[in-house]
Structure 1
Amino acid sequence: ATPYTPPTTTTIFGDEDLTIAQTLIKMRSEKAKEKGVAFRDMEEPPRLTRSTTTLQPLSTIDPKDKDKGVLVEEEPEKLQKVKRMDQGLAQIESEADLAQKIYEEELAELDRAQKERQKQEKATIAALTEEFDEIQARMDVDHELVVRMTHEEQEMYTIKEMARLLAEYFERRKKQLAAEKAEA
């Protein structure tokens, strides 16, 4: 009785159940080991190592020993190490310079934006002050006009009232004189 596995997995390698994608990746790495080539995943950053390990096939291969190789350690040249380190340092320095330049540009942009905002605020305050002064001047003129008209109306009312009172007086006096003439 063989164990049942879902159709999306396979047990070719026996160590674990793998999906089809994982199986293809594992087969690719196994095939690469046969040829002495190592693939590196693009997701992982490259690591600096002191020695490189590769598989080299034996010069005499027995048919039973197919796909086996000898483990050989190779020391990379020290010049390449220095160059890699120098390149890394140079890259770090250039990135730091670029970051500093971007930072300074952003600070300059921020300062410019703040100065522009302050200039706009001053212009707005000046415009509002000017408008307030105009409105206040209109209000003062209107107030003076109302006061003057009130005095004129009071004077006119007084004159009209005096004329009315005088007219009433003359009317009463005429009636009195007419009454006196009628009696005499």
Structure 2
Amino acid sequence: MANGTNSFTIRADTAALDDFLDALGEAADQAVRPAAQAGAQVLYEAVKVNVSSIGSVTGNLGRAVYQAFSPEHSIDGVQAQYHVSWNARKAPHGHLLERGWVQRYAVTIAKGGKWVTRVRPEAQGKPRPRRRATQAEKDAYYEPRPGGPVHRLGYFFVARAEDSMSKAIEAANLELQKRYDQVK
């Protein structure tokens, strides 16, 4: 360090600053997971609102939406990751509502609201095509939809929650600020 005419020296006791930074570091480590959860909560609530705007037949999709802490993608005091999605076991057709689908075949709505894909008369009594059957095998078995296939657009109930990302970041920052204020 130069001691020329254009320099000066300041001596200060930084023990209090060191103590504050140590306390702030501990508080920051402890605030990572609550801050991430605060942001995840905002996104979770946005997904729930989006699902409720679709309308409900059974309510399974609304009950299947969850937020969960992911310990395998988190590092204590450094990063915390939460997943916000839906449980596919509880709402197995959620992916169709999220991304959309193509309806190729005619359907009948049976008692109880169950959709049944209609079978061609000449295919009555024959076994259904296997799960990974070719399109030609399926077309030979099922009755085509009058007017041809129609693409049903998805509702993007999870993807649209990204519109709330700025609110989620704000909630996480508020949680961090609350923790910082406790250290002061």
TM-score under structure 2 normalisation? 0.21
Q: Larger strand proportion, structure 1 or 2?
A: 2
Q: Larger helix proportion, structure 1 or 2?
A: 1
TM-score under structure 1 normalisation? 0.21
**Structure number with larger C-alpha Rg:** 1
